[in-house]
């Protein structure tokens, strides 16, 4: 106890706190002991002198507790020893960071970023081109001259022609159609190699339209096989060739294979369906006829001369067609018992079918078609 009667607290908790302080300040333990003794003097001996106990400090050697090194402590020591300020250290660190950034390689642009940039640029370019195209089209349409009706083309049919006769077939039967076509051929004047085009129309003259191939065979009451009929396009050309006025029929095809197979199937009735019509169109003009060359003339009994049909001496038709090559063209020919050609058909090319009654027509029209291809 102290002189004033207060107790002296030197328990283990106080000793631990003093030890921690020593460790932090680096003070030798013996000095701490002296400080403790000086701060807390031994109370006087009331009952007599007690034997002196040996001091523990004499038995325990002096231990130097080392400081715990930290970054903050190192910085403080450098500042103390080298007279360096915190500002100078910060400037040095900044300078070092800048040198590292200068020496480091440049950052590589990400491939995805490059792709996105390219896509954006391409989109902008396409938008600009689209706007330019629309503007150009509008400018051209605005400044384009108004369309004027073109003159009638001489190649509106499959082959070029020298003259044309239009016939309204709206109310014509098979016999009347054959007669009207024969009369048109009877009144025409043709030189060698020239063609008369018979244009078959329906409806009134102001709103006339060409009839289709199906319509033609319907008027002629022809029993065309379905495969052949489906392969025939609407474009056909009925006409006469040369001064002999040999009739022929040209048909545009949409399918060569179907047409070839269909024509083979049609051979059994082809002469009755088409051959008889073409045979009846073979005419010889009489001395009282007037030539018809105007392309706008409509066939009728009042505008065309009467036709005198000259019977042709023929034998009995053969039952089957035979193959023959004419001017490098394969043809299927039907003859009579006397060896006369009654009917033939041939594919001038994969798009054109010819039906006629003369080998000479095949040769002439094949040459005209080849010449027309060279011109086009």
Which residue in the block uniquely carries the two structure tokens 């269909």? 262
Closest of 346, 219, 220 to residue 275, by C-alpha: 220
Q: Kindly report, residue by residue over 75-109, the tens digit of the pLDDT.
A: 666 666 655 555 666 677 777 777 766 665 555 55
Q: Kindly report which listed range (111-125, 291-305, 316-330) carries the lowest average pLDDT score.
A: 291-305
Name the more confident of 28 and 132: 132
Q: Does residue 24 register a pLDDT over 60?
A: no
Residue 251's H or E segment, with its range, is strand 246-253
Is beta strand 163-168 parallel, antiparallel or unpaired with respect to 195-202? parallel
Find out whether 152 and 295 touch, Cβ atoms under 8 Å.
Answer: yes
Q: Kindly report, residue by residue over 312-335, the tens digit of the pLDDT.
A: 556 788 889 999 999 899 999 999
Q: Return the ∠ at Cα 45 (arms to 44 and 48), rounded to 5°.
A: 155
What is the separation of C-alpha 111 from the centre of its chain, rounded to a whole number of angstroms?
30
Which residue in the block uniquely carries the two structure tokens 């231990």? 63
What is the separation of C-alpha 131 from the centre of its chain, rounded to a whole number of angstroms?
21
Q: What is the pLDDT of residue 98?
A: 74
Name the more confident of 30 and 327: 327
E strands within 143-193?
163-168
Q: What is the pLDDT of residue 121?
A: 87
Q: Kindly report which listed range (39-53, 58-72, 321-335) carries the lowest average pLDDT score.
A: 39-53
Q: Kindly report, residue by residue over 337-355, the tens digit of the pLDDT.
A: 888 999 999 999 999 999 9
DSSP 236: E
Q: What is the pLDDT of residue 333?
A: 96
For residue 190, count other CB atoms closer than 10 A to its CB.
Answer: 21
Q: Kindly report, residue by residue over 172-211, the tens digit of the pLDDT.
A: 899 999 999 999 998 888 999 999 999 999 876 666 788 9
- Say whether pTM exceeds 0.75: no
Q: What is the pLDDT of residue 295?
A: 38
Provide the 3-class DSSP secondary structure of residue 260: helix
Q: Does residue 68 register a pLDDT over 80?
A: no
Q: What is the pLDDT of residue 150?
A: 38
């Amino acid at each position: 106890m102290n002189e004033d009667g207060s107790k002296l607290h030197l328990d283990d908790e106080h000793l631990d706190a003093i030890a921690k302080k020593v460790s932090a300040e680096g003070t030798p333990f013996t000095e701490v002991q002296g400080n403790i003794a000086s701060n807390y003097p031994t109370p006087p001996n009331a009952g007599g002198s007690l034997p002196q106990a040996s001091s523990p400090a004499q038995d325990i050697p002096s231990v130097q507790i080392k400081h715990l090194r930290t970054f903050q402590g190192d910085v403080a020591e450098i500042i103390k020893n080298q007279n360096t300020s915190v500002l100078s250290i910060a400037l040095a660190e900044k300078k070092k960071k800048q040198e590292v950034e200068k020496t480091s390689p440049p950052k590589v642009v990400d491939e995805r970023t490059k792709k996105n940039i390219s896509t954006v640029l391409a989109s902008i370019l396409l938008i600009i081109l689209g706007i330019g195209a629309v503007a150009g089209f509008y400018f051209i349409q605005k400044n384009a001259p108004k369309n004027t009706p073109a003159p009638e083309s001489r190649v509106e049919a499959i082959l070029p022609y020298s003259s044309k006769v239009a016939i309204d077939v709206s109310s014509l039967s098979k016999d009347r159609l054959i007669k009207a076509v024969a009369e048109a051929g009877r009144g025409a004047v043709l030189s060698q190699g020239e063609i008369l085009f018979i244009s078959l129309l329906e409806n009134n003259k102001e709103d006339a339209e060409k009839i289709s191939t199906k319509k033609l065979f319907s008027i002629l009451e022809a029993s065309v096989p379905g495969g052949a009929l489906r392969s025939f396009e609407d474009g056909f050309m009925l006409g006469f060739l040369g001064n002999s006025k040999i009739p022929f029929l040209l048909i545009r095809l949409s399918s060569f294979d179907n047409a070839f197979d269909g024509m083979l199937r049609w051979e059994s009735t082809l002469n009755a369906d088409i051959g008889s019509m073409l045979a009846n169109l073979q005419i010889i003009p009489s001395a009282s006829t007037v030539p018809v060359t105007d392309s706008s003339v409509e066939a009728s009994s009042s505008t065309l001369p009467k036709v005198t049909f000259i019977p042709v001496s023929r034998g009995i038709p053969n039952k089957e067609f035979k193959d023959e090559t004419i001017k490098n063209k394969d043809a299927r020919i039907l003859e009579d018992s006397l060896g006369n050609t009654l009917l033939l058909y041939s594919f001038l090319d994969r798009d054109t079918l010819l039906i006629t009654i003369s080998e000479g027509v095949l040769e002439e029209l094949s040459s005209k078609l080849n010449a027309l291809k060279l011109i086009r």
